[in-house]
Amino acid sequence: MSHTTSALAGRFYGVKLVCRTWEQPPSSYYGARQAQGQPVRSFPASKRGPKTPLSAAALLGLIRADLNTSPFQGEGHRKVWTRLRVRDGVKVGRRRVLRLRRENHLLSPYRAGAARPVSIRGDHHPGAQPHVGHRRRQGLDGGGRLGLDLRGRRALERRVHGLACL
- Which amino acid is present at 49? G
In a domain, 50, yes or no: no
Q: What is the pLDDT of residue 154?
A: 63
In a domain, 151, yes or no: no
pTM for the full model? 0.44
Q: What is the pLDDT of residue 115?
A: 53
Q: Rounded to whole angstroms, how far apart are CA atoms 108 and 67? A: 11
98 and 60 share one domain:
yes
17 and 38 share one domain:
yes
Q: What is the pLDDT of residue 15?
A: 84
Q: What is the pLDDT of residue 56?
A: 92
The residue range of the domain holding 32 is: 1-43
In a domain, 29, yes or no: yes
- Domains in the chain, number: 2
